[in-house]
Amino acid sequence: MAAASQMEVKCISAHPRRFDQEFELVLAGCDGARRLDITSLLTPDLDWQRVLDSAEHHRLVPALHAALAGKNGVPSTVRVRSQKHAWRVLHFTVELTKIARCFEQGGIEFLAHKGPALGQLLYGNPAMRQFGDLDVIVRLRDFNRAKNALIELGYDPHLHLSPRQEQAFVRSGYECSFGLNSERNLVELQWQIMPRFCAMNFDVNALFSRSMQIDLDGVSLRTMGYEDLLLVLCVHAAKHEWAQLGMLRDIAALARFDLDWNWMVVEARRLGILKILQVSLLAAGKLFDISLRTQLPLATEGTAEVASATVARLQHNYDPDTESIRYFRAQLQTRERWRDRARFVWRLATTPSVQEWQAAQIPDCCFALYRGVRIARLMKRFLT
């Protein structure tokens, strides 16, 4: 592209240690991280509780266990937690294949997103990626049928809404949680990639048309194509302020694939997420031993600063407060277009959510009044 120039994302293997010893160990355990010999980090003064806490926060317990296999001085807790995760992945995989068969019988097309499917795609083993639920994407037209199919399988929706509330929820939201037995959030049924207020108009029908087939435990599933998947992973990581190293590990692993970078630039520009793509790649490049040259435009203003801040706070196990004003200001800073920022603020301020529906009981015939409830609650939060 004429407007694009070479942007190099590279990590040099022989730079000095930048993090505390415990986080360095977790980082070195990631696939592709080759900055330090992991054995040199296994010193007597290593705080293993901090290592385990960090690995859990960043969802890297299986990667850490694999990297430490056969090493001396490793506490058995690492192995125990990894085995527990492996059993949980097996449970998730069984549930996903059960859902796949049920949807197939009902003629419901879906995309297996993240979860065991992404572990299989990126690492050749679902258990090598730590996750907490199953993400299933359907077209909006199939949402009700997919919801009813999950209920027939024994799943219980997290939300019980009136018909008018559900209509508004489907229009403004993007996912619905389902539990099974004692697990409150086992499946996330999605019909969009992000909520409407984020002003990212992903074309779900196009995601289906560009999807590809993978095999998981003998069952054929469809998942997003590589380029779509990278953009979606970057957006998902940005929503969480890139707070988990595991997310950047996934992005780095996928970035090593043979991708159509020019197409991704065009699509990222259309969606207004070029800065998010750049921050994700820069942060991954600062952390992992990857060297790729991509035809990305020159970095958007503030991109390098966001990427550096992202990397710097990872070792502190940062967990963003998604209800704070600071969080939403940070989200605005990830967008390169003023019109997207304006849509973000306006839709966020005027779109009622489940919290408003629970705060006030308004008849469906006066449903529009919930917008006023939303504005009032936001003003009260801002003032206090």
Cβ atoms < 10 Å from Cβ of 274: 23
Report how far apart, in Å, the C-alpha atoms of 311 and of each of 13, 278, 281, 307, 318 are.
17, 14, 12, 6, 11
- Residue 296, CB half-sphere, CA atoms under 13 Å: how many? 23
Look at strands 134-137 and 156-157 and give their pairing.
Answer: unpaired
Angle between helix axes 76-105 and 48-57 (nearest 10 degrees) is 10
pLDDT recorded at residue 4: 41
Mean pLDDT of 26-54: 83
Contact 234, 247 (CB under 8 A): no
Confidence of residue 252 (pLDDT cuts 50, 70, 90): very high
pLDDT tens, residue by residue, 42-67: 999 999 999 999 999 999 999 999 99
**pLDDT band, residue 355 (cuts 50/70/90):** confident
Q: What is the pLDDT of residue 299?
A: 67
- For residue 2, the model assigns a pLDDT of 36
pLDDT tens across 162-215, in order? Answer: 888 899 999 999 999 999 988 888 999 999 999 999 999 999 999 999 999 999
Percentage of the residues of the chain whose pLDDT score is greater than 70 = 91
Query: If you write DSSP's letter for every residue of 101-116 in order, what string do you get?
Result: HHHHHTT---EEESHH
Section 355-374 average pLDDT: 86
Query: Which of 118-122, 216-220, 251-255 shows the lowest mean pLDDT across its residues?
Result: 216-220
User: Do residues 136 and 113 lie in contact, with contact meaning Cβ atoms separated by under 8 Å?
Assistant: yes
Q: pLDDT at residue 123 above 90? A: yes
For residues 8 and 290, the model is more confident at: 290
The pLDDT-based confidence of 336 (bands split at 50, 70, 90) is very high
pLDDT tens, residue by residue, 269-312: 999 999 999 999 999 988 986 665 555 666 667 888 999 999 99
Residue 40 in this model has a pLDDT that exceeds 70: yes
> Is 312 in contact with 266 (CB distance < 8 Å)?
no
d(CA 79, CA 67): 11
312-346 b/e with 16+ CB inside 10 Å = b? Answer: eebbebeebeeeeeeeeeebeebbbbeebbebbee
User: How much is the pTM?
Assistant: 0.91
Q: Tell me, what's the pLDDT at 228?
A: 98
List helix spans (H) across the chain: 21-28, 48-57, 61-68, 76-105, 115-123, 143-152, 163-172, 204-209, 226-239, 245-255, 261-271, 274-287, 303-313, 325-333, 338-350, 354-359, 370-383
Residue pLDDT, tens place only, 306-333: 999 999 999 999 999 988 889 999 999 9
Q: Are 24 and 42 in contact (CB under 8 A)?
A: no
What is the spatial distance between Cα 296 and Cα 266, in angstroms, rounded to a whole number?
10
Task: Name the nearest CA neighbour of 278 among 32, 31, 4.
Answer: 4
Residue 68: pLDDT over 50: yes
Residue-level pLDDT at 57: 97
Backbone angles phi, psi at 216, to 5 degrees: -135, 110
- Domains parsed from the chain with CATH numbers: 9-351 (3.30.460.40)
Q: Are 159 and 355 in contact (CB under 8 A)?
A: no
Residue 256 near residue 290 (C-beta atoms within 8 A): yes
21, pLDDT greater than 80: yes
pLDDT at 5: 42
Q: Is the pLDDT of residue 11 over 80?
A: no
Average pLDDT over residues 77-91: 95
